Amino acid sequence: MDSRPIGVFDSGVGGLTVLKRLVEALPGENYIYFGDTKRVPYGDRSEGEIKKFAKQILNFMREQKVKAVVIACNTTCAVIDKSEYDMVLFDVLKAGAESAVLYTINKKIGVIATTRTVESKSYEKNIKIIDKNIKVYQEACPEFVPLIEKGLYNSPIAYETANKCLKELKEKEIDTLVLGCTHYPLMVEVIEKIIGENVKIVDPAIKLAYDVKDYLLKKDLLNPQIIGKTKFFVSGDKDNFIKTAEMLLGEKIENVLHVDIEKY
Ligand code: DGL
């Protein structure tokens, strides 16, 4: 039994889609969520910047005395070396690759993600470790994150942008599409309509949440509470963050605290 919180972080609101899955699977846990709303988007930043941001955020998480951290940002997972940290870290990208392999039948998987994640080829590498015969088609959708951060995930401009981004993937006969950025589940309705109902859409956070649950059960680290609490921290803008968090989690979010993350 362990009442320490679980840390969850992302560049902004995207990781809230992961937090939602975690709360569904593990409602009794306490969570510390950090959204780097000052420095979002990460997707076009250099590897050096993303590594530095991850280090600062993980220092902050350590100070919060978390028992584990869920890296709810594919772009960060694609770039950092987790073995450099003596912390229990869960990786949304690995969970996404593993889920996609379980779903595909025709062995043609599409991945949509940020530019940095696509360039790293991390999805392809993780998928091919499991099954080298799978074909992976990747597409960067750099315009999605700024739209989603503004709350425009179901707008006409979201349709227009998704249409452009998914155009080539639609020709590849994929049967599985991984949402390789934690912001994208917020646009899932739009993406589903465009890619078509024959393509299985994978939200990596579903498997990830069960991986975390498995780990806590095996290590006897579950929090012995029925309903846990979440504390929210952001580095920049709070308004859209609160709106998206309330919409996703279905409850009022009162206390979002500001952190000067550059200090860490
Ligand atoms: N949501 C993040 C990801 O999963 C980062 C998106 C961004 O900030 O560009 O990759």
> For the chain, which domains are there?
6-91+206-263 (3.40.50.1860), 93-204 (3.40.50.1860)
Distances (CA, A) of 252 to 31, 58, 257: 16, 27, 15
| The pLDDT of residue 255 is above 90 | no
Distance 18 CA to ligand 1 centre (A): 12
Q: For the chain, give the mean pLDDT.
A: 96
Span 97-101, average pLDDT: 98
Distance 73 CA to ligand 1 centre (A): 5
- Of ligand 1's atoms, which has the minimum distance to the CA of residue 14? 1
Distance 184 CA to ligand 1 centre (A): 9
Contact 232, 214 (CB under 8 A): no
State pLDDT tens for residues 179-216.
999 999 999 999 999 999 999 999 999 999 999 999 99
**Sign of the CA dihedral with 56 first, then 35, 38, and 94 last:** positive
Catalytic residue among 73, 77, 141, 165: 73
pLDDT band at 116 (very low <50, low <70, confident <90, very high): very high
Judged by average pLDDT, the poorest of 82-86, 163-167, 246-250 is 246-250
Cβ neighbors of 207 (< 8 A, separation 6 or more) are 95, 96, 98, 99
Question: Considering only CA atoms, which residue is closest to atom 2 of ligand 1?
Answer: 73
181 is catalytic: yes
State pLDDT tens for residues 33-43.
999 999 999 99
- Of ligand 1's atoms, which has the minimum distance to the CA of residue 43? 9
